[in-house]
Amino acid sequence: MSVEVVTILVLAVMFLIGTIRNVNMGLLGLVAAFLVGLFAVGMDLDDVIAGFPLDLMFALMGLTFLFGFAQQNGTIDLVLSWSLRAVRGTVALAPWIFFALTGVLMGIGAIFAIGVVAPLAVPFARKYGINPLMMGMMVVHGGMAGMLSPLSVYGIYVNNFLLGQGLGESPWALFLCALAFNTAIGAVVYLVMGGRALLGRRVSDGVAGVADAGAGGGSGSAADGRVSAAGPGSTTSSGTAGAVRRRPPAATW
């Protein structure tokens, strides 16, 4: 059996164990790497350890740790609140606000930015009559627009991979290509999936006038205690409201 087939089988077993059992996938990957390297490939222990990407590990650990602090101390919630205030009642800007917010969070190393923003964006879309699918796609493409920034986990990984393959390092070119491509897709999604219908709409539209529903069916004044009722095809009556005394219920034994 070739090394490639053994590696694929080990990966399949690793994902199966990680799915069935509550075991960290990273730890399983370390064990699988040592097993495959030592027994299937025939590498020395020093060679296996030398292949471990320490730079990438520390970058991932530091960025994830930093984002964990930002999430726990309320920084992410504050950024979300500021972003929603930036809409200023204009519904048409809301998808782009969530697009930009997800991109910024992903760009600074928040690898779970889509999972953080999407549960806020989709209920917002339903509340104000925005296509939820369009809002979800804007969040996803916003995250993909910022995922290859020089500070993000994916950007660091891809740039290290390019350096390892001798293709040179170009972190800003990589980031700008992803940003431009996903922004263009976001614009198409916005226009095709109902974004043009949102132009000119505000958050307050459709809210006013609820209290007027059923108006004209009656009127009253608590100041003078008089009540009148009128309607189409009905008689008009008036009178003075007064207190109604209720007789206590008869006792039963």
Q: Which domain holds residue 70?
A: 65-198
Q: 123 and 15 in one domain?
A: no
Instruction: Indicate whether 47 and 90 sit together in one domain.
Output: no
Q: What is the pLDDT of residue 205?
A: 57
Give pLDDT, residue 37: 86
Rounded-to-integer distance, Cα 156 and Cα 109, Å: 10
pLDDT band at 252 (very low <50, low <70, confident <90, very high): very low
- Report pLDDT for 113: 83
If asked whether residues 110 and 32 sit together in one domain, one would say no
Averaged pLDDT for residues 130-136:
92
Asked if residue 60 belongs to a domain, the reply is: no
**Is residue 128 domain-shared with residue 29, that is, in the same domain?**
no
Residue 235 above 60 pLDDT? no
Cβ–Cβ contacts within 10 Å for residue 103, how many? 26
What is the predicted pLDDT for the residue at 151? Answer: 85
Instruction: Identify the DSSP state of 52.
Output: S
3-state SS assignment for residue 239: strand
User: Do 98 and 185 sit in the same domain of this protein?
Assistant: yes
Alpha-carbon span 156 to 55, nearest angstrom: 10
Residue 150: partners with Cβ closer than 8 Å, 6 or more residues away: 156, 159, 171, 172, 175
Can you name the residues that pair with 145 across neighbouring β-strands?
Answer: none
- Eight-class DSSP state of 202: B
Flag whether 237 is in a domain: no
- pLDDT value of residue 203: 60
- Claim to verify: residue 35 and residue 93 sit in the same structural domain: no
Domain closes at, from 198, 214, 230: 198
Any domain includes 252: no
Residue 192 included in any domain: yes
Query: Is 253 within the bounds of a domain?
Result: no
pLDDT digits (tens, 9 = 90+) for 66-117: 777 776 887 767 776 776 677 676 788 889 989 998 999 898 877 778 887 8
pLDDT of residue 83: 67
Is 124 within a domain? yes
The answer to whether residues 141 and 96 belong to one domain is yes
The verdict on residue 216 lying in a domain is no
Q: Is residue 73 part of a domain?
A: yes
Of the three residues 198, 220, 248, the one that is the final residue of a domain is: 198
What amino acid occupies position 98? F
DSSP state of 90: B
Based on the domain organization, do 158 and 46 belong to the same domain? no
129 and 175, same structural domain? yes
Judge whether residue 198 has pLDDT over 50. yes
> Could you tell me if 161 and 184 lie in one domain?
yes
pLDDT at residue 24, rounded to an integer: 82
Q: Are residues 100 and 44 in the same domain?
A: no
Average pLDDT of the chain to the nearest whole number: 75
Q: What pLDDT does 204 receive?
A: 59
Q: What is the mean pLDDT of residues 234-247?
A: 46
Residue 179 clears pLDDT 90, i.e. is over it? yes
Confidence (pLDDT) at 25:
82
**CA gyration radius for the chain?**
31
Quote the crossing angle between the two packed helices 132-146 and 113-127, to the nearest 10°. 150
Rounded average pLDDT over 199-225: 45
Domain boundary among 150, 182, 198: 198
Q: What is residue 133's predicted lDDT score, i.e. its pLDDT?
A: 93
Query: Cβ(149)–Cβ(107) under 8 Å?
Result: yes
Domain count, the chain: 2
163, pLDDT greater than 50: yes
What DSSP string describes 134-170? Answer: HHHHHHHHHHHHHTTSTTSHHHHHHHHHHHHTTS---
Q: Are residues 43 and 79 in the same domain?
A: no
The whole-number pLDDT of residue 30 equals 85
**What does the pLDDT read at residue 46?**
82
Contact 134, 160 (CB under 8 A): no
Beta bridge partners of 228: 219, 238
- Chain position carrying tokens 């504050």: 78
- Contact residues for 194 (Cβ-Cβ < 8 A; gap 6+): 130, 131, 134
Element (H, E) at 94: helix 94-107
